[in-house]
Amino acid sequence: MADEKRIDEPTGTSFVGHEWDGIEELDTPMPRWWLYTFYACIAFAAVMVVLYPAIPMLHSASTGVLGWSSHGDLAKEMAADHARRAPVMHALEQTPIEQIPSDPKLLRAAQEGGHSAFKVYCTQCHGAGAAGAKGYPNLNDDDWLWGGDLKTIQQTLLHGVRQPGDDETRMSQMPAFGRDGILKPAEVQDVVSYVRFLSKQEGVTASSRRGAAVFTANCAVCHGDAGKGNRAVGAPNLTDGIWLYGGDRDTITETVTNARYGIMPAWGARLDPVTVKMLAIYVHSLGGGEKTPVDPVPAPAESPVPAAVAAR
Amino acid sequence: MAHPQDLTGDGQQFFEARRKVFPKAVDGPFRRLKWAIMLVALAIYYVTPWLRWNRGPYAPDQAVLVDLAHRRFYMFSIEIWPHEFYYVAGLLIMAGIGLFLVTSAVGRAWCGYACPQTVWTDLFVHVERAIDGDRNAQIKLQRAPWGPSKIARRIAKHSIWLVIGALTGGAWIFYFADAPTLGRAFVQGSAPFVAYATVGVLTATTYIFGGLMREQVCIYMCPWPRIQSAMLDEKSLTVTYKAWRGEPRSHGLKRAEPLAQVVLGTPSLVALIEQPELASRIGDCIDCNACVAVCPTGIDIREGSQIGCITCGLCIDACDGIMAKIGRPSRLIGYTTDLDARLAQAGEAPVPALKRLFRPRTLLYFGAWAGIGLAMLFALGNRERIGIGVLQTRNPQWVRLSDGSIRNGYTVKVRNMEERPRSVEIAISGVPGAVLWTEEAGRNQAARSVRVNVAPDQVAQVPLFVSAPGAGPTRADLAFTVRALDKEGGSARDTSFFERPEPTP
């Protein structure tokens, strides 16, 4: 502390009294515009308090003269975004699903829209990456119970699986062979051996030879003589490497004994048609999508225009 | 805390009003150099966005363009993508080291000649002189009561300043969009809001900094004078008042009278005239204040080197003019180093200019500056205009296909940095039996490579599937190579993994 006001000779400014290792602080006056800038900031703040929400009240802040709110901003941006997307959504609504892939822009929009809808409605069962789980199909692979082309996927989405009250729902009913006493436990084990032989998980055994006969008598009607399944009735292919519930002996035994009845909501009743369309396109794009089968009508594939005319 | 007495003492000021500076017009070599640099700097600033550069049909034809919307930076034949930002960083580092180099070689030359604050302030000062007259007329007008003439002059001056400010801000926006298009839209009122906002803000800053605040920016706001003060050493050029030559100031012979009194013991000016050899005891400085009157920051250089001195050299011009009139040698005020000043005081020869310039410090700065520049030029000449980035799909990591093989998904980004469409081939290697295909082609088109067309100057995002036999390591390295199929060629490589499920026991 300086007792007397001391003056720095070269500058004529008084010392403040602070000293660090011989370096002293001078009481140099601030520029006046600095003070004015400070006043301007205070004035700015006062205007802001009047114009915008600022003062905390009992339930919410004061509303401000402009009536601005962050919720209002969000609503405006959402409305603007809806308006921006409207033409694309309209085009998606108007275009038949099998023609969307020929328009890259539309296809991309549908894939992205389907991806975000998938996150909301589908991940609970099929998982965020659509890899499924036991009893919930993996949508990335190339194995489909009912078919993997765009129209078929859309149909499955619209009407769901085993939805009561929907005439077009995917409905397959495998008998509970063991529980209902159609097959004896030994026969069940034989047919399991045969199914594991079909999927190349086991070699030929006496049990699988006996099972072949049981299979032909009981299973081939839906799964086919070679066990390759039948999409018309939703019977899975038993010869491939993909199992919805599991391909080990215990799991197949459980499946044959009690049968499986997985379900999926009929999304046509819950979502708008465009969202269902986008979901179908997204699922189709995951890697297992199949080509839409060409109609077996005698129209040549090279001339789609006459075919379209003929269709009208 | 300050002592209470300090706070209540007489004349204590917490805030100091700006002392307005009325720099007097001056002519001389440094003034003419400033004119030239000002013209070049302003010409570069205003003309650059309007230069055209043909890049073909797929890229803008503006020579210098910072295309923020599309994340591209064009500078004549060079195009910088965002991932090449290190070139911009390198330029900024070069600018920084360049300032160090200039400061160590020629002192605060940046402040005095090239700094935009200096250039625009100079421009504003000239406008002020054209309207209000030179220093004395300006001071007179300042003190005059408000009347029609003063109001008219003030309106004219501030209007022209605002116009210059608007033109300055207006030129800035043309660096960020096609200049002719934006210019038309700006005039028609259909330009984006951000363009008008930018022009508004830059008009305000130019007007306030160049017209109203001027030296306050240098003294209070700019960090650079402080940094430079720390960088100056005894071999740095500073504008120096040669006190050993100028002192004692004579202010004509009248001021020399007391001196004569001291020497001769008689209070006679006549005595001094009669004995001219005594004149050598009188300094060259006649205290005419010409150096103070022309100073744009309003300092007295005779008080020594100080933070307010931007080394613009105008006081040198002013003093040389006076020296010529009174018949004394020029450069009483001049660019000198502290070392030379000491040598001159001792009557020795100054350090040769070359020896002063080529000292370790400047050579080090120059080496670093040139090294970075050469490295960037080399990198620029050798850079690959094709790039690949591979992102493996993490959810699911793998998918088992019905034939028992394992499929992994990848998002491959191919950067075509040429301004023409290109056909490229993406190939994989590293995993035995692996094949790849695109979603649209389907698995029956699977092969060891796929061909993709990439739009000019664009990134193509290609979702790819790779499948390999189910038996194999849980994680194997998988390399992706992209190769341009046109005659210029070029290739790039990125690595990723191919993952399989853990083998079940």
Nearest to B452 by CA among B393, B385, B499, B386: B386
In this structure, is the dihedral angle defined by the CA atoms of residues B257, B262, B266 and B271, taken in order, positive or negative? Answer: negative
Q: Does residue B300 share a domain with residue B243? A: yes
- CB atoms under 10 Å from CB of B483, counted, come to 16
Nearest to B286 by CA among B331, B238, B319, B239: B319
Burial of A4 (0-12, 13-18, 19+ CB in 10 A): exposed
Cα–Cα dist A252/B85, whole Å: 58
The pLDDT confidence band at residue B260, using thresholds 50, 70 and 90, is low
Task: For residue A199, give how far its alpha carbon lies from the nearest alpha carbon of chain B (Å).
Answer: 10
> Per the domain annotation, does B155 fall within a domain?
yes
Cα–Cα dist B227/A48, whole Å: 37
- Spatial contact of B209 and B215, defined as CB atoms under 8 Å apart: no
DSSP B114: I
Q: Does residue B171 share a domain with residue B258? A: no
Q: Does residue B58 share a domain with residue B140? A: yes
Q: In the structure encoding, which two tokens stand for residue B470, read together?
A: 């189910």
Check which CATH number belongs to the domain holding B432 and give it: 2.60.40.10
Instruction: Answer whether A143 sits within 8 Å of B1, measured CB to CB.
Output: no
Last residue of a domain, one of B196, B230, B264: B230
Last residue of a domain, one of B203, B230, B257: B230
How would you classify the pairing of strands A30-31 and B15-16? parallel
Residue written as token pair 């000292």: B359
Q: Does residue B314 share a domain with residue B392? A: no
Q: Does residue B358 carry a pLDDT above 80? A: yes
Q: Does residue B259 carry a pLDDT above 60? A: no
ipTM for the whole predicted complex goes beyond 0.85: no
Is B298 in CB contact (< 8 Å) with chain A?
no
Task: For residue B396, give how far its alpha carbon lies from the nearest alpha carbon of chain A (Å).
Answer: 5
**Which CATH architecture best describes the domain A174-258?**
Orthogonal Bundle (1.10)
Structure confidence by residue, pLDDT tens digits, B197-253: 999 999 999 999 999 999 999 988 999 988 888 888 888 889 999 988 887 777 655
Which pLDDT score, from 0 to 100, does residue A122 have? 96
Instruction: Answer whether B3 sits within 8 Å of A35, measured CB to CB.
Output: no
Which pLDDT score, from 0 to 100, does residue A303 have? 41
Identify the bridge partners of residue B429 per DSSP, sorted by sequence position.
B479
DSSP characters over A76-127: HHHHHHHHHHHHHHHHHHHS-GGGGGGSHHHHHHHHHHHHHHHHHHTHHHH-
> Per the domain annotation, does B21 fall within a domain?
no
Identify the bridge partners of residue B15 per DSSP, sorted by sequence position.
A30
Q: Does residue B72 share a domain with residue B153? A: yes
Average pLDDT, chain A: 89
Q: Does residue A2 carry a pLDDT above 50? A: no
Nearest Cα residue in chain B from A108: B461
Cα–Cα dist A55/A240, whole Å: 68
Residues making up chain B, counted from first to last: 505
How far apart, in Å, are the Cα atoms of A291 and each of A142, A144, A147, B56? 12, 13, 10, 40
Amino acid at residue number B109: A
Beta strands in B22-161 (DSSP E): 64-67, 72-75, 78-80
Q: Which residues numbered 69-128 in A keep a CB inside 8 Å of some CB on B? A: 101, 127-128
Is B470 in CB contact (< 8 Å) with chain A?
yes
Q: Does residue B261 share a domain with residue B180? A: no
Q: Does residue B274 carry a pLDDT above 70? A: no
Task: For residue A139, give how far its alpha carbon lies from the nearest alpha carbon of chain B (Å).
Answer: 9
- Dihedral, CA of residue B58, residue B63, residue B64 and residue B68, to nearest 10: -10
Q: Does residue B138 share a domain with residue B94? A: yes
Q: Does residue B224 share a domain with residue B169? A: yes
Q: Distance between alpha carbon B101 and the CA centroid of its chain, in Å?
A: 14
Domain that holds residue B444: 386-499
Cα–Cα dist A111/A97, whole Å: 12
pLDDT over 90 percentage in chain B: 66
Last residue of a domain, one of B230, B249, B281: B230
Q: Does residue B247 share a domain with residue B225? A: no
- Spatial contact of A287 and A269, defined as CB atoms under 8 Å apart: no
Which pLDDT score, from 0 to 100, does residue B247 have? 77
Cα–Cα dist A95/A3, whole Å: 90
Q: Does residue B413 carry a pLDDT above 60? A: yes
Interacting residues of B301 by C-beta distance below 8 A, sequence separation 6+: B239, B240, B241, B291, B292, B295, B309, B315, B333
Burial of B494 (0-12, 13-18, 19+ CB in 10 A): middle
- Spatial contact of B19 and B136, defined as CB atoms under 8 Å apart: no
Helix (H) or strand (E) holding B206: helix B193-206
Amino acid at residue number B501: P
Contacts 24+ apart (CB under 8 A), B68-75: B68/B176, B72/B457
Nearest Cα residue in chain B from A286: B439
DSSP characters over B231-258: H--TTS-EEEE-HHHHPSP-THHHHTHH
Structure confidence by residue, pLDDT tens digits, B369-411: 999 999 999 999 888 889 999 999 998 999 999 888 999 999 9
- Spatial contact of B216 and B310, defined as CB atoms under 8 Å apart: no
- CB atoms under 10 Å from CB of A75, counted, come to 11
Amino acid at residue number B354: L
Chain A environment of B2 (Cβ under 8 Å): 16-17, 27
Phi, psi of A283 (to 5 degrees): -60, -40
Nearest to A211 by CA among A174, A168, A267, A252: A252
Structure confidence by residue, pLDDT tens digits, B64-119: 999 998 899 999 989 999 989 899 999 999 999 999 999 988 889 999 999 999 99
> Per the domain annotation, does B359 fall within a domain?
no
Q: Does residue B204 share a domain with residue B59? A: yes
Helix (H) or strand (E) holding B211: none
Interface size between A and B, measured as CB pairs under 8 A: 94
Q: In the structure encoding, which two tokens stand for residue B291, read together?
A: 């150096």
Does the global pTM surpass 0.80?
Answer: no
The pLDDT confidence band at residue B5, using thresholds 50, 70 and 90, is very low
The pLDDT confidence band at residue B489, using thresholds 50, 70 and 90, is confident
> Per the domain annotation, does B3 fall within a domain?
no
Structure confidence by residue, pLDDT tens digits, B30-65: 999 999 999 999 999 999 999 999 988 888 999 999
Q: Which residues numbered 262-301 in A keep a CB inside 8 Å of some CB on B? A: 285, 287, 289, 291
Nearest Cα residue in chain A from B304: A10
Amino acid at residue number B84: E
Which pLDDT score, from 0 to 100, does residue B1 have? 43
Cα–Cα dist A276/A165, whole Å: 20
Cα–Cα dist B401/B404, whole Å: 5
> Per the domain annotation, does B18 fall within a domain?
no
Q: In the structure encoding, which two tokens stand for residue A65, read together?
A: 């003269």
Amino acid at residue number A301: A
- What residue spans define the domains of chain A? 174-258
Query: What is the number of domains present in chain B?
Result: 3
- Spatial contact of A23 and A30, defined as CB atoms under 8 Å apart: no
Is the peptide bond prior to B225 cis by the omega test (within 30 degrees of 0)? no
In this structure, is the dihedral angle defined by the CA atoms of residues A117, A122, A126 and A128, taken in order, positive or negative? Answer: positive
Instruction: Answer whether A31 sits within 8 Å of B220, measured CB to CB.
Output: yes
Residue written as token pair 């009208």: A312
Interface test with B, best of A27, A111, A118, A143 (most B CBs within 10 A): A27
Q: In the structure encoding, which two tokens stand for residue B474, read together?
A: 């849980």
